[in-house]
Amino acid sequence: MGSRLALDKDVYVRDEVQTAAKILVVGHFAVGKTTLIGTLSEIPPLRTEETMTQAGSGIDDLKGVRGKTTTTVAMDFGRLTLSEKLVLYLFGTPGQQRFIQVWEDMTRGALGALVLVDPERLEESFPVIDLIEQYGLAYAIAVNHFDGTQSRTKEELREALDLFPETPVITCDARDQKSSAGALITLVQYLMNRVP
C-alpha cells in the first residue's frame, strides 16, 4: 500500500526575487583559480582538470610553480549564495593563452571578474588584465599570497599592474574560505557601487 505526501502549495511560493549573477574568476596559469572556486563553492564544484603530460612541457611554463600536476582545460564552476536575494555563479577560466576562445565565450553575461594575481609573477597578469579590459568587464584584483611570497603594498601592486585608481586591490589566500570570500565580496561591492 503506497503512501501519499500532502504538499502545501504555499511552501513553494516566494515573495522575493532572487538575482543570479555571473562572475568570472580569471588569472594566469597556476595562480589558484580552481582552488579559490573550490574553497568558496557551496556545491561540489565542476572542474575540468586534467593531468599535465610531457606533451605540454614546452607549452605550459612551470617556472615559479610548485607541485602543479593538473591544469584546467575548459572551466571551473561553483555557486555561492550571498543572501536570500543574491546568488553568485562563479566561472573559472583556464589560464593558458591557447584557451582565449573559451574566455570570450565565458564573458558573455558576466557582471565582472575577480583577477587572481601571483605577486611573484606579476608580468603574467598583464595579458589577463588586457583581455578583461578588452571585453569591457569591471574587475577587482585579488593578490593570491602563497607561502613564502614577498609582501608588497597595495600601492606598489597598483603601480606595477598599471591599474586605474578605482580598481580594488585585495590580498587573499585562495585556500582559505574567509580570505577568498573577502576578495569576492570586495568585487561584488565594487560592482554594486558602479550601478547608477
Q: How far apart are CA 113 and CA 191, in angstroms?
A: 10
Mean pLDDT lowest among 51-65, 77-91, 159-173: 51-65
The bridge status of strand 70-83 relative to strand 46-51 is antiparallel
* C-alpha separations of 11 from 15, 85, 145 in Å: 11, 17, 45
**Kind and range of the H or E run holding 105:** helix 100-107
At 3 the pLDDT is 41
Instruction: Give the dihedral sign, CA 45/184/21/85.
Output: positive
CA dihedral (129, 132, 134, 136) positive or negative: negative
Domain limits of the chain? 17-194
- DSSP for 114-183, please give it: EEEE-TT-GGGGHHHHHHHHHTT-EEEEEEEPPTTPPP--HHHHHHHHT--TTS-EEEE-TT-HHHHHHH
Overall pTM > 0.75: yes
What's the whole-number mean pLDDT along residues 24-29? 91
Position 101 pLDDT exceeds 80? no
Give pLDDT, residue 62: 52
For the domain made up of 17-194, give the CATH fold. Answer: Rossmann fold (3.40.50)
CB 155 within 8 A of CB 128: no
Rg, the chain, Cα only = 19
- For residue 66, pLDDT beyond 90: no
Give the Cα separation of 158 and 168 in Å (integer).
9
d(CA 77, CA 188): 17
